[in-house]
Amino acid sequence: MNTRSQVLLWGAQRASAMVLALCVIVHFITIIYAVRNGLSAVEILGRTRGSIAWGGFYFLFVAAVAVHAPIGIRNICVEMGWRSRGVDVLMFVLALTLAMWGLRAVWAVVL
């Protein structure tokens, strides 16, 4: 991978990290609040079903994760010595998988 792409990947990592920092803080607060007195499907769906705000939030969350995690995994692989084209393919596959399953989950709990 040429230098320009490497730098852009680094930039995307940092940018998605900033988005994720905010999303994770919100998510932690939500989860810690939600697990008190046990977790139930009714409670979760009661919060998320039909909510544009939650839908938008989780959409953003999934998008940021689909960028951040695959680049991170790629970095780990490169540092462990794996530098061929395969590592880039893995990154894209991971990104697509996370995006698809994540969006499916958002769809499931919002609609």
Partner 1 sequence: MNALKVKIWRGTESGKFQDYEVPRQESQTVLDVVTYVQRRLDPSLAYRFACRVGVCGSCAMTVNGVSRWTCRTHVSKVAGDSALEIAPLRNLPVVRDLVTDMAEFFDKWAKARGRFTGNKTRKDDFARVEPASKQRRAVDAAIECIGCGVCYSSCEVVTWKPDYLGPAALSRAWTLVNDVRDVAQKERLAAVAGDAGCHACHTQMNCTERCPKHISPTAGIAGLKRAVLAATLKGEL
Partner 2 sequence: MALTLFLPLHFWALGNALHGEAKLENFLRWSDQPLVKFGETVLVLLLAAHMAGGVRLLMLEFMTWRNISDQHKTLLAAAAGVSVAVGLAFLLNLV
**List of residues contacting partner 1 (CB under 8 A):** 3-4, 6-8, 10-11, 78-79
Q: What is the length of the chain?
A: 111
- Select from partner 1, partner 2, none the partner in contact with residue 89, using the beta carbon and a kind-dependent cut-off of 5 to 8 Å: none
Nearer to partner 2, 5 or 40 (CB): 40
Alpha helices of the chain — where are they, by DSSP H?
3-34, 41-48, 52-79, 85-110
CA 34 to CA 80: how far, in whole Å?
A: 39
Tokens of 21: 């920092």
Nearest to 68 by CA among 12, 23, 24: 12
Nearer to partner 1 by Cβ, of 82 and 107: the residue is: 82
Are 36 and 94 spatial neighbours (Cβ–Cβ below 8 Å)? no
Task: Identify the residue among 12, 19, 63, 69 touching partner 2 (CB under 8 A).
Answer: 69
Q: Residue 11 or 86: which CB sits closer to partner 1? A: 11
Cα separation, 82 vs 70, in Å, equals 15
Q: Which residues bind partner 2 (CB under 8 A)?
A: 14, 17-18, 20-21, 24, 28, 31-33, 35-36, 38-42, 44-45, 62, 65, 69, 72-73, 76, 94, 97-98, 101-102, 104-105, 107-109
